[in-house]
Structure 1
Amino acid sequence: MMITTSDIEHISWLAHVWLTDSELKEYSEKINPILEYFSTLDEVNEDVDATYHVLDLYNVWRDDVPSEMLSQKEALSNAKEIKDGHFKAARIL
């Protein structure tokens, strides 16, 4: 599908964008290669099953099983500041 300068002129009129003759020619020369590139999509085979995921993996998450945790003392051991047994952070508001 080739776009002519008259097509570009009509589109610019619809968009209320006034173009000079040189701009009309320039845009028609620039838009045609773009449309030719998109015409390659017409060659795509559409008769294929939809692929939602390429691997047949289901529920790959680990079980939520309680495990041994750090004590409060161990968790706070590398904290820069501690207040009342909690991490103390700088105010952000």
Structure 2
Amino acid sequence: MSLNSSDVAKIAHLARLAVDDSELQHFSAELSSILDLVEQMHKVETTGIEPMSHPLHMTQRLRPDSVTETDQRERFQAMAPSTEEGLYLVPKVVE
């Protein structure tokens, strides 16, 4: 698919992008090549191919799920202006 400069100007206007007239030719060539690639990808036969969630068949390395900090809730709530049953009380903002 080939886009001309007026197509790119219209797309830029709809997307609210400022594109100089000197750049229109460059962008029309770039966008046309992207659309040609998408058209080629649509022609590829993919029947019977199972979709993949990731291109590599690997498992993610994860860090061990362990506690790294001590519980300091009482210390922090002692500094708070107002608490109740372990919760911080704040002024009502929305009526």
Q: TM-score, normalised by structure 2?
A: 0.47
Q: TM-score, normalised by structure 1?
A: 0.48
Higher Rg = 1
